[in-house]
Structure 1
Amino acid sequence: MTKQTNDLLTRGPSDHSVRDQVVEAATAHFGHFGYEKTTVSDLAKAIGFSKAYIYKFFDSKQAIGEVICANRLSQIAEIVNNALADVPTASEKLRRLLRTLTEAGTDLFFHDRMLYDIAAVASRDNWPSAVAHQARLRQLIQEIILEGRQAGEFERKTPLDEAAEAIYLVMRPYICPLQLQYNLDSAPAAAVLLSSLILRSLSP
């Protein structure tokens, strides 16, 4: 998340340790009770701050949720980057991308369900963190396609942005938190089958 985005989400005193304390406590509280069922009053009571004091640092419950969501999505982005590092071909990168995203999303769902719900709400309501994450994925897909074209792995006739958007839409039911929760049973097989389908469509 950029400093500019953080500035929009937070306000008041520049005491980052207190902000971090609120975010840490909120992460634990949302993780136990859920984001949508928790009010700022509930959160204030749970962490021992007044509601007014929390509002000195965050202008809404969503602003707190945004930071938590951005942190989780940053972790997923790091997992993806590590998974793609040193992968020799664009074809294998596309396979690895879809598999890694479905595995990371599924893992979050089963191990931090309440926090997964924050990501689903962020996707549903187009929070800036979710929109930025989607934009990063689209850009990554486009870069992989371009790499494949330069290496002669992929066809060159389809406009680059059109091909990237089509692949993103095919992947979306298994990489978007809002949709993945309804496709968990088929996600592992889908990651394999859809990757093969995508790669056949990209063949020169």
Structure 2
Amino acid sequence: MPAFIIRPAIGTDIPDLARLIVELYHSELPGALSGCRAGQERLLAYTLQANGEAALTNRLVVCDDQQRVIGTGMLQFPNEPAYERAPRGTIAAAVRELGIGPTLKLASVVARSLIGVYRHTDPQSALIHSVVITAAARGQGAGQTLMAALEEQIRSRGLPRSRLQVLANNTAAQRFYRRCGYDEIWRLDGWRARLGWPSLVMEKVLV
């Protein structure tokens, strides 16, 4: 297995983080982001920069043996606010970088996702989110290494469980998380699933 380096995200990682988050969008919600790829990455870089330190707090990156950032993941601990994915100015930035049509499409996708978003309120677990490994590096153990590091961060806070939310149609991600020891504990259904994006929450007991 290749050697990977896990470290906290820093400000100079923002271009790489933007690239990875664009990959995550295209993988989980194909068509949500459109327009030129460079513009998509500039838009995501804007949202990261607009969040300030919150974009880097509790975020880890995984690097290959040449120090290239190939993946990232983030944590939300109990009593901490959820990460703001569309900070003030995002719409204006989207129009500037992508154009009116792609911005309207993205706004509709974001609105749908808000219907079914999981509100993490469990005081005995932390939420793992925004996990992505660049496509060229998948299948080599980087994902498992990143998940193990995120889980260790949770253990260090004295919390016994980790949780994550995954789209119901993202069966590849579900298989990966099951291999990492996660089990489904909740599923979005009913009218919210019809109006939003059907999803499920998975949990792992950390030992």
TM norm structure 2: 0.28
TM norm structure 1: 0.28
The structure with the larger Rg is 1
Greater helix share, 1 or 2?
1
